[in-house]
Structure 1
Amino acid sequence: MNRFTPYLPALEKALRKIDSWRSQFDSSDEVSDIDSDQIDSILNNLCDRLNGNYPFHHPSYAGQMLKPPHPLAWLAYSLTATINPNNHALDGGPPSSEMEKEAVQELAKMVGYGDTYLGHLTSGGTIANLEALFVAREIHPDKSIAATANAHYTHRRMCRVLNTEFLEIPVDEQDNPDLNFIKDHADQIGTVVVTMGTTGLGVVEPLSEIIELAHKHGFRIHADAAYGGFFSLIKNNLPKLKQWKQLSQADSIVIDPHKHGLQPYGCGSILYKDPAVGKYYKHDSPYTYFTSDDLHLGEISLECSRAGASAAAFWATLQLLPLSENGLGSILKKTRSAAVTFSDLLTDSKQFELYQQPDLDIVGYFKKPDGKKLTDVSRLSHEIFEHGMKAKPDSGYHLSLFKVSADHFTTRFPDYKADSESVTILRSVFMKEEHESFIPVLAERIGI
């Protein structure tokens, strides 16, 4: 049985309840005659088109950061979308705006901000980071925004949008930021972006050490926890506990519910430690939203129209899986367990090599070639990657590829010959809870 099938009766019942509410007004909501055959034909065609996707739902897919939302999130989103509220303002969606505030409050508690903060949901992590960098520019208009070489490319790109200087912090062969570089350029820096789970290999950067420098030199800290943020729920089970304990010291934090928050695309979030930054969003709309004197969400967001359905879906999910170690954290424990088990198999393997111990649930690795050359490593990585996608569903798999500089690779594995400037290794993202029990099967299919 499909994971969504048991929810269909609940969705039909909820739709009927919403229709009952609609019918209280008049018959203007009634639609003209529907050609059922045409609808069936269109949906059948859609299904055929959607069958061209990779199996994001299945644990044999361990490639990119993709997975279906929780069925309850999908149900709540679909139900709310029939009304199509706009969370730009209370007038556009009174209930879903309140749900957004409640959900964001739970996020603020999770990161340790308590009751004093400013925040809202966004259409994704890119926009959330843009908002964080926008505030960073407004606070320090004449200074740079700095991020490491491992940070997501969105930061460099958004600095161009904001016409703000971007400063790249070098990292060493173990992905550690050059703290001396930060010290030497501290007078130029207004905000440092610290990534809590890079999108490459899930590296958690040294937040605590950079916070010490911030206190000394006076720059701000933005924590890009788009991928890793929800792992703070199980920080006691992670190797870099010290860094997670400092998350509440960041001036702003981005977390993506559409990743480990089990939400549909797009649902990001931005949180600010100091609610006074709301002054940078101040605007006046001359024609709308006069029914409420309360602060509406559009007054603290760069975005205008935003889907109330996203807020309802996230809110509903948190009713089922609260932001606690035993709530949503129970799923993160399984994804982390999958990564650890897979890493242990790689460590014991005679055919494969673990690139580095994972901080979260993303694992980098490669097959050992007969010759100790980087080009051979890259060739084998591509062969394994392509073989998995061409195999039958009952024996196939989907991985991703990750490019590493030759210097970084040979520092970790000095017996390899650097016959190219970079090397391609394999990368697996174990973000589905089903991965925990599927790891032995996946490892066998890959040949580990």
Structure 2
Amino acid sequence: MSEEFLKLLSASQRTLDEGFSHLPPNPAPSLGEAASAILQRVAERLHDNYPYAHPLYAGQMLKPPHPIARAAYSLAMSINPNNHALDGGRASSAMEVEAVAAVAKMFDWPQHLGHLSSGGTFANLEALWVAGQLVPGKAIAASDQAHYTHSRISTVLGLPFVTVPSDATGRMDLTALEHLLATENIGTVVVTLGTTAIGSVDPLDQILALRKKFSFRIHVDAAYGGYFTLAANLSPKTRSAFDAIPHADSIVIDPHKHGLQPYGCGCILFRDPAVGRFYKHDSPYTYFSSKDLHLGEISLECSRAGASAVALWATQQLLPYTPGGAFAQGLESGRNAALNLYERLTKSAHFVTPSAPPQLDIVFWTPSASTPDASSALAEAIFDETAKNDLHLALAQLPTRFFSRDKWENLAISDQKSTVTCLRSVLMKPEHLLWLDHIWQRLYAAAVKVSTVNTSIEPA
């Protein structure tokens, strides 16, 4: 934590404290002599983590919050507001309304109903709950690459769930979807803009076109990829999907992913504010301090951290959601890093890459070998070897159909369920582009070392 950060936080804390200086003194209790030793132990225990904030951590989708988000969150925690009702967080509730409006504006939704949540899972729960109220008993459909939470949520809500096959690029198969819609049993289609496994983007624009023939709701799960609507370097197909967002019925985005926020901070938006009627409920002891809207009146969650809203609002003031701005440039940098890494992998004989480049900022590949099982074993060996050299990647079990059939010997064309263990990298930090040479050097060195004891990998 930098000295500048601590100075800014200290100065802001004094300003906050001055706002309550007219009250009788009520000094905070001393932490006591044991506090220092305890916090030292906490710091030592926290060493047992991967270095998530460092660019050499290029594994799972873990991105450090921006310093201003950390500072604003810490500042708000001295009050610990609860954004369920205005009684528990007047200022933070107002900041949440403004922050959510900024997210809606990013998606070109001037009219909306929405709020922050504890994360994407609960935000998706609310979206599918509302869908179940509007089209009761009808099934939820989502791609086989969609997040597993949709199947679980559907079970919780008592709604049927149907899986739609994906194509070789991980996007929802439109022909399969149309056949399902023809049954008239589908009430809501979940369209994923940025799957958490490979960052694939379902063709929202083409799915919207199917509403000319069939009646169904469209919920966009953009928990991971939503902010890429600001990026100027998407492929035409991906751009078309994002440009269609204004015509969806609901959307989820996670500011605690690309939005530079601490966990947990999700966001749910509905295009039609009238769905607020489904939230209506009575409370015998809240909602009386003001006739203005209390956020608990449009949320399934009750207590919610007001500090999350404060942190998001502060970050938006520093880094507004404008195309070409600093925030958008950070997203573009991550995508450029993914494209750069994909190009290096494709040119190397050590690795097998999918035929299509990354759709967002997630790259996956597997070592070159004679069979998927051999590639899988090598992937695990390289994963361990890179970690020894402080490069941390991730592993993922993915369908072999994401790769060309000629990559392995004797792989049956009909074997649609065959999988292979892949190495996977989420290059979501803006600085990943600057560190790509370091990442590649460590990855390549690990592959060379592993290949010396396994002849199934030919030198690059």
- Answer yes or no: same fold by TM over 0.5: yes
1:353 and 2:349 are equivalent in the alignment: no
Counterpart of 2:149 in structure 1 is: 154
Output the amino acid matched with 2:23.
F
1:127 paired to 2:122 = yes
Determine whether 1:141 maps to 2:159.
Answer: no
**Matched residue of 2:390: which SS?**
coil
2:169 is the counterpart of 1:171 = no
Equivalent residue of 2:16, what SS? helix
Q: Cα distance, 1:296 vs. partner?
A: 1.3
SS at match of 2:396: strand
Return the offset for 1:412: 6.9
String of CA shifts for 1:167-222, please: whole Å, max 9, x gaps: 11112333242323322222001110000000000000110111111232110100
Matched residue type, 1:367: P
Q: Deviations over 1:3-34 (max 9, x none)?
A: x442110111112222222332112x313444
CA distance in 1, matches of 2:9, 2:48: 26
- Give the letter aligned to residue 209 of structure 2: E
Hey, what does 2:19 align to over in structure 1? 21
Question: Within the alignment, does 1:64 sit opposite 2:60 as a pair?
Answer: yes
Report how far residue 409 of structure 1 moved: 4.1
Is the deviation greater in 275-284 or in 170-179? Answer: 170-179
Q: Which residue of 2 aligns with 1:331?
A: 330
Q: Report the Cα distance in structure 2 between the residues aligned to 1:215 and 1:138, rounded to whole angstroms.
A: 23
Note the aligned Cα RMSD (angstroms).
Answer: 1.7
Matches within 5 A, 1:96-245: 96-114=92-110, 116-186=111-181, 187-235=184-232, 237-239=234-236, 240-245=238-243
CA shift in 2, pair 1:34/1:223, >3 Å: closer
- Aligned twin of 2:284: 286
Partner SS, residue 434 of structure 2: helix
For structure 1, the 5+ residue unaligned runs are none
Counterpart CA distance in 2 for 1:412 and 1:88 is: 56
Question: Partner amino acid for 1:134?
Answer: W
Counterpart residue type for residue 343 of structure 2: D
8 Å Cα contact 1:173/1:412 also seen in 2 = no
Count matched residues. 437
- TM-score (structure 2 length as normaliser): 0.92
* Aligned position for 2:38: 42
Q: Distance in 2 between matches of 1:407 and 1:238?
A: 22
* Per-residue CA distance 1:265-324 (angstroms, 9 max, x = gap): 000000001001111111111122212111211111100100000000000000100001
Partner of 2:450: none
Whole-Å separation in 2 of the counterparts to 1:284 and 1:192: 32
Contact 2:192 2:221 in 1 (8 A): yes
Q: Partners in 1 of 2:127 and 2:398 — Cα distance? A: 29
Equivalent residue of 2:61, what SS? coil
1:73-100 Cα offsets, whole Å, 9 max, x none, are 0000000011001111122111111111
Q: Secondary structure in 2 aligned to 1:42?
A: helix
Over 3 Å counting, the alpha-carbon distance change for 1:401 and 1:34 in structure 2 is closer
Find the counterpart in structure 2 of residue 317 from structure 1. Answer: 315
Whether the 8 Å CA contact 2:352–2:407 is kept in 1: the answer is no
Q: Which residue of 2 aligns with 1:87?
A: 83
Q: Is the 8 A contact 2:234 2:360 kept in 1?
A: no
1:247 pairs with 2:241? no
- How far does the alpha carbon of each residue in 1:81-138 deviate from its partner, in whole angstroms, 9 at most, with x for none? 1100111112211111111111111111111112x11011101000000000000100
Q: Cα distance, 1:410 vs. partner? A: 5.4
Aligned to 2:452: none
Q: CA separation in 2, counterparts of 1:224 and 1:332?
A: 18
2:363 is matched with 363
**Displacement of 1:67:** 2.0
Q: Which amino acid aligns with 2:328?
A: G
Moved more, 70-79 or 333-342: 333-342
Give the 3 Å change call, closer, same or farther, for CA 436–258 of structure 1 in structure 2: same
Cα deviations by residue, 1:22-52 (Å, 9 ceiling, x for unpaired): 332112x3134441x3111111011001111
Give me the whole-angstrom Cα distance separating, in 1, the residues matched to 2:330 and 2:29: 45
Paired AA for residue 60 in structure 2:
Q
Looking at structure 2, the residues matched to 406 and 334 of structure 1 have their Cα atoms a distance apart, in angstroms, of 29
CA distance in 2, matches of 1:33, 1:54: 33
Give the secondary-structure state (helix, strand or coil) at the position aligned to 1:185.
helix
1:53 aligns with 2:49: yes
Measured against aligned partners, the alpha-carbon deviations of 1:347-382 in whole angstroms (never above 9, x if no partner) come to: 22122222241000000112212xx11111001100
Change (3 A) 1:32 1:207: closer
1:436 matched to 2:433? The reply is: yes
2:302 paired residue number? 304
Task: Report the residue type matching 1:400 in the other structure.
Answer: A
Match for residue 387 of structure 1 among 362, 385, 388: 385
Partners of 2:391 and 2:168 in 1: how far apart?
30
Report runs of 4+ in structure 1 exceeding 3 Å deviation: 235-239, 406-421
Amino acid corresponding to residue 109 of structure 1 in structure 2: K
- 1-structure distance, mates of 2:252, 2:103: 10
Q: Secondary structure at the match of 2:430?
A: coil
Contact 2:352 2:368 in 1 (8 A): yes
CA shift at 1:443, angstroms? 0.6
After superposition, the Cα gap between the structure-2 partners of 1:61 and 1:125, relative to the gap in structure 1 and judged at 3 Å, is: same
Letter in 2 for 1:348: K
